Structures are given as structure tokens and as C-alpha cells.
């Protein structure tokens, strides 16, 4: 995909986002532009605060669902 198409896709997606989502995306973009040596947090900690409580609840429910095995399914 050419660079201009990527940029247009990003702008189109941005137009569909809520203001809160746009601020989160801006924070993420700014964090990506920082030199890696200036990041004090490492590993998964660099993602702290990216997801809101609804997102984390969704992840938790998905993990709980995936841990339940239907032995009759096989």
C-alpha cells in the first residue's frame, strides 16, 4: 500500500473515532515518536493507561471464555 493510501486510511479511521479515542490515539502517536532510550517503562508497562475499563473487562471476559473447554466439541 502506498504511503498516501495509508495516510488517507488513517484520516478516514480518525473521522469515525470519538473525541476520547482521538486523544488516546494522539497519546499513542506521541509515545511512538519518543526515542526508546527516553522510555522509563519497559515491556508491557508502556501500554499502561491505553485501555479503558470497558476494554479491559472485554479482554477479561474473552480470556475467561477461552479457558473453558467443551470436551464434547472434539
State the pLDDT at residue 41.
54
- Are 51 and 59 within 8 A, CB to CB? yes
C-alpha gyration radius of the chain:
18
Length of the chain: 74
3-class SS of residue 74: coil
Kindly give the parts of the chain with pLDDT less than 70: 36-42, 67, 74
Give every CB contact of residue 51 below 8 A, 6+ residues apart in sequence. 59
State the pLDDT at residue 36.
66
Structural domain spans, the chain: 3-73
- All 3 cell numbers of residue 15? 473521522
Question: Is 0.95 topped by the overall pTM?
Answer: no
State the pLDDT at residue 42.
63
Amino acid at each position: 500500500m502506498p504511503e498516501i493510501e495509508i495516510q488517507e486510511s488513517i484520516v478516514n479511521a480518525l473521522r469515525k473515532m470519538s473525541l476520547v479515542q482521538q486523544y488516546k490515539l494522539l497519546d499513542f502517536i506521541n509515545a511512538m515518536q519518543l526515542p526508546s532510550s527516553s522510555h522509563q517503562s519497559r515491556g508491557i508497562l508502556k501500554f499502561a493507561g491505553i485501555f479503558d475499563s470497558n476494554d479491559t473487562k472485554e479482554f477479561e471476559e474473552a480470556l475467561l471464555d477461552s479457558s473453558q473447554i467443551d470436551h464434547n466439541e472434539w
